[in-house]
Structure 1
Amino acid sequence: MISEVFIKRPVTAIVISILISIIGIIAVSTLPISQYPSIAPPTVTVTANYTGADAQTVEQTVTTLIESQINGTPGMIYMSSNSTSNGQATITVTFEVGTDIDIATLDVQNRVGIAEPALPEAVRRLGITTRKANNDILMLVALTSPKGTRSENFLANYNNLYVKDALLRVKGVGDVTAFGQPFSMRVWLDANKLANLSMTPADVSTAIAEQNSRIPGGSVGGRPQESSTVFEYPIITDSDLSNPEDFENIVVKTNKDGSIVLLKDVARVELGQFNYGTSSTVNGMTSSAMMINQTPGGNAVESAKGIVDALEKLKKSFPTDVDYTISYE
């Protein structure tokens, strides 16, 4: 029996016991730590946006097409989807326990790419996001305005521009969902005025797209011009529109008599949010919240510390009357 070997050789038994103890101590320091470890199977989430579409339209023109391609992915157990009235389609693909989540994400992304050409142009333009998901919320963080001098739009835009990307770089952070919406130029059409001018929303959309695009200007002095030209100068065209007044003066129609119809004649233009589906406050203060999820198998304690350190570093450059609050950890 093997026990007799160790009884007759106590020194060998002691050495092996010490080695096992040392290996155990080393292993403890490298294991992921979490108060409530996740034992759920790995999942991959696909998100697409169809601005202005209702839930039924999203389901028929986006969700169903993507689902038909994703179905049958190796290792997949089941798939669920959600199409909302704000134009968002979310598809969650659940895989067998032990499936390599990175390979599964790549497989799903490849299948989404096959479905992409059949999707509406507006969906392709906004992009389709495929990422591995962890349903366990690691932390909820909100940018706040203690004195109330900053609007929710400002906080949301600052979140998207400066805070979100910095937190995504923290080790162990898998995803950061910003509930606030970035700034967007909103065009509110007047249906009666459009009807009187025999116009449709598509006419207005086409006019905006044509007159709000950056076109390369080429250069002056380059070939095939005469060799006597010493310098070549690039032409920089600033054709992007950036404020409501610029958009209001877009020509949306030219009448037969030569008169023109401007966008402000048929619509109201303002700088607002990309989407008005969410709003948040913290202790009565204006805020913009973020939900942070960790990567599957990540160290929750280490990740939380890294997030706090990153927020403290970012706080040094926050604008006046902007602070952060950890609502959940």
Structure 2
Amino acid sequence: MASLSTISIQRPVLALVMNIIIVIFGIIGFTYLGVREFPSVDPPVISVSTSYTGANAEIIEAQITEPIEEALNSIAGIKSLTSSSRDGGSSISAEFDLGVDLEVAANDVRDKVSGVVRRLPPDVEAPTVRKADSDASPIIFLNVFSKQRNLLELSQIAETILKERVQTIQGVSSVQVWGEKRYSMRLWMDPDKLAAYELTPLDVQNAVNRDNVELPSGSVEGSSTELTVRTVGRINSPEEFNDLIVKEDNGIIVRFRDIGHAELAPENQRTILKRDGVAMVGIAVINQPGSNQIEIADAFYKRIEQVKKDLPEDIELGMGFDNTEYIRESITEVQQTIIIAFALVVVIIFAFLRDWRTT
């Protein structure tokens, strides 16, 4: 049987046609190829996060982290188990062997966590189980800052203008705002007044949980129509919280205004981003799996130029990082390598054959 090289020399037209077909298929495949820095390989890691507001690290460790760790230790295929307990929350990461099916492992973790929930404190938030995702890391990070505005105003601009404009770019999975600051309803209580009415902060919390709800109210049917009845039960304004009934005893009504006051104020600052000592917020862009990160970056910069026209003059934008820069450099290196390799192949073949036509 003749070798491939012999057939190519004896039938040059066939060899040329086959090469053209290979090139055509290569071009078609290249158009569908995702462009990213590293291959999409999900690490075999599953994390369990639990929030317990107001608890210190010691309580978190004893009442949340240790019970969950004990439950996870019985799962087969775990390579290592690491945990972190801090004020207000617990994080546990379980790394599995490479051959373990992540879907099966995630289901096993959820089952174990569900079984241990009854051993956790009653007012703790439900644990969240997540699989590590190679596509969950931001590819672009944009800084938003101003020397004339506070974090509340910057957060509002980032949420309503920048985030809404950027998340409509094709290939973008989500847009996160980092370092933002939001409004929250604060309930301030006077300890002396609480003691005078024989109340505790827990009584106030129970009153809020009892009255700050919306319950289904059924519907009203007519001869040809049916209307849904909605009972407005949510408390939204400081005035409504001040009118909240905390206690009623022997005809005496104690409202929240009698023991304290409510106000709309910024929430507690947990994280903060700064540039040259000035607080700022960040816009993190996360791409969809298999999308072209370079095309997303190009569309992002075009969109930002359009958005700048609608921003106040004191708002400044700066790039935190852009991972596509490394991808562009890698592509340039690959192109240069291909050209050099092609030239070397031609030169070597010509050196042996000594004939440009045959080469």
Same fold, judged at TM 0.5 (above): yes
**Aligned residue in 2 for 1:153:** 152
Deviation at 1:206, TM superposition (A): 0.2
Q: Deviations over 1:68-122 (max 9, x none)?
A: 555566765434333321x233333445558776776566556555555554454
Which protein shows a greater Rg? 2
**Corresponding position: 1:80 with 2:79:** no
Q: Which residue of 2 aligns with 1:9?
A: 11
Q: C-alpha distance in 2, partners of 1:216/1:164?
A: 34
Partner of 1:19: 21
Does the CA contact (< 8 Å) of 1:159 and 1:178 recur in 2?
Answer: no
Deviation at 1:277, TM superposition (A): 0.8
Task: Kindly indicate whether residue 251 of structure 2 is the aligned counterpart of residue 252 of structure 1.
Answer: no
Matched, 1:180 2:180: yes
Offset from partner CA, 1:50-80 (integer Å, 9 cap, x none): 2222223333333344445555667654343
How far apart are the structure 2 equivalents of 1:181 and 1:110? 35
**Other-structure match for 2:203:** 203
- Which SS does the other structure have where 1:80 is aligned? strand
SS of the equivalent of 2:84 reads strand
- Equivalent residue in structure 2 for 1:263, among 256, 259, 278: 256
Structure 1's unaligned 5+ residue stretches are: 224-228
| Preserved CA contact (<8 Å) 2:175 2:283 | no
Change over 3 Å in CA distance of 1:301–1:133 after alignment to 2: same
Which residue of structure 2 aligns with residue 90 of structure 1? Answer: 91
Q: Which residue of 2 aligns with 1:226?
A: none
Maintained 8 Å contact 1:142/1:289: yes
2:144, 2:315 within 8 Å by CA — same for their partners in 1? yes
The counterpart of 2:53, out of the listed 47, 51, 54, is 51
What's the counterpart of residue 231 of structure 2? Answer: 237
Which piece of structure 1 moves more, 104-113 or 237-246?
Answer: 104-113
Deviation at 1:219, TM superposition (A): 4.8
TM-score, length of structure 1 as denominator length: 0.71
Q: 2:177–2:281: 8 Å Cα contact kept in structure 1?
A: no
Q: Distance in 2 between matches of 1:116 and 1:319?
A: 48
Q: Is the 8 A contact 1:34 1:299 kept in 2?
A: yes
| Distance in structure 2 (CA, Å) of the matches to 1:243 and 1:48 | 30
**Aligned in 2, Cα 1:84/1:72: closer, same or farther, shift over 3 Å?**
same
Matched, 1:214 2:207: no
Partner of 1:61: 63
1:138 shift after superposition:
1.7
Contact 1:157 1:183 in 2 (8 A): no
Q: Which amino acid aligns with 1:211?
A: D
Instruction: Give CA-to-partner distance per residue, 1:213-253, whole Å, 9 cap, x none.
Output: 12334456x49xxxxx8976554332211112221222223
| Structure 1 contact 173–303 (Cα < 8 Å) conserved | no
Q: Deviations over 1:21-54 (max 9, x none)?
A: 3344444444443457787835444433222222
Q: What is the CA–CA distance in structure 1 between the aligned matches of 2:76 and 2:289, rounded to whole Å?
A: 19
Q: In 1, distance between residues paired with 2:129 and 2:99?
A: 24
Specify whether residues 298 and 114 from structure 1 end up closer, same or farther in structure 2 by C-alpha distance, changes over 3 A only: farther
- Other structure's SS at 1:48 match: strand
| Contact 2:178–2:283, Cα closer than 8 Å, also in 1 | yes
Q: How many Å separate the matches in 2 of 1:168 and 1:144?
A: 20
Q: Measure the CA separation in 2 of the matches of 1:21 and 1:108.
A: 47
Using structure 2 for the length normalisation, give the TM-score.
0.66
Change in Cα spacing, 1:191 to 1:145, as seen in structure 2 (3 Å) is same
Query: Structure 1 counterpart of 2:204, which letter?
Result: V
What CA deviation, in whole Å up to 9, does each residue of 1:252-289 have, x standing for no partner? 23355x43333234344322344421223446655332
3-state DSSP class of the match of 1:133?
coil
Question: Partner letter of residue 198 of structure 1?
Answer: E
Task: Report the CA distance between 1:204 and its aligned residue.
Answer: 1.4
Shift in alpha-carbon separation, 1:79–1:281, aligned structure 2, 3 A: same
Matched residue type, 1:201: P
